[in-house]
């Protein structure tokens, strides 16, 4: 009897430790995800300023100011991650369903709906506005054949064009993945199909975005 009780205590202790580790991994994942969103916003802003304000670009995006931007966004991400220290708020990987899930508490569900989905969509909308404006401006520059006047060289213009295309493709990929995770996967049934619609698509997303 004593042996059985001790074994149960060990099992419960192990499960508690694993759950704590799972929570920590989920918390780090959320912070890293937020950081990737803000880096996309920073890149889009960088391209926008470069295209619309080429003469001020060197002042607004020096090594010092860029470092400050990164520090500010990193601080915001860390503050957001602190919310998940609350016992009822967590984001974990469910081994049974093979999905990352938010806690079923009101705190977890609010974070899932308003922060993870709607706030992400608002960020993506802002990024799309910046990117579309940049695209329109680039087309006008090409039509007017003012590449040398605005950029000084064709090589710099091509570099900006590649970075713009990369940022836009990454934004499209991330926005589709978020919508898929929260809504497209909802009617999907079956363990493996849901795994593909949530966990696998996020893995493909990060591999493609990288």
Q: Which tens digits make up the pLDDT trace of 80-109?
A: 988 888 888 889 888 888 888 899 999 999
Residue 115's domain spans which residues? 2-209
CATH code (residue 69): 1.20.1070.10
Number of domains composing the chain: 1
The pair of structure tokens assigned to 155 is 């090589």
Q: Which tens digits make up the pLDDT trace of 149-205?
A: 555 556 666 777 777 777 788 888 899 999 998 998 888 888 888 888 888 888 888
The pair of structure tokens assigned to 61 is 């995006």
Residue 93, beta-bridge partner list: 100
Distance between CA atoms of 135 and 172, rounded to whole angstroms?
15
pTM above 0.85, yes or no: no
Which residue is listed with tokens 């890149």?
A: 43
Mean pLDDT of 51-74: 91
């Amino acid at each position: 009897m004593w042996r059985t009780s001790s074994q149960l205590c060990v099992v419960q202790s192990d499960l508690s430790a694993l759950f704590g580790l799972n929570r920590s991994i989920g918390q780090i994942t959320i912070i890293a995800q937020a950081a990737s969103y803000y880096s996309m916003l920073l890149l889009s802003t960088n391209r926008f300023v470069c295209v619309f304000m080429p003469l001020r670009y060197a002042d607004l995006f020096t090594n010092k100011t860029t470092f400050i931007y990164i520090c500010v966004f990193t601080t915001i991400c860390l503050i957001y991650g602190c919310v998940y220290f609350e016992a009822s708020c967590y984001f974990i990987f469910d081994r049974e369903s093979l999905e990352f899930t938010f806690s079923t508490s009101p705190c977890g569900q609010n974070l899932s709906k308003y922060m993870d989905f709607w706030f992400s969509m608002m960020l993506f909308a802002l990024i799309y506005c910046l990117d579309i404006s940049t695209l329109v401006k680039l087309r006008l520059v090409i039509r007017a054949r003012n590449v040398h006047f605005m950029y000084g060289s064709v090589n710099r213009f091509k570099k900006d064009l590649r970075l713009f295309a990369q940022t836009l493709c990454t934004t499209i990929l991330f926005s589709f993945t978020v919508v898929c995770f929260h809504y497209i996967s909802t009617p999907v049934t079956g363990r493996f199909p849901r795994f593909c619609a949530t966990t696998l698509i996020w893995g493909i997303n990060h591999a493609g975005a990288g």
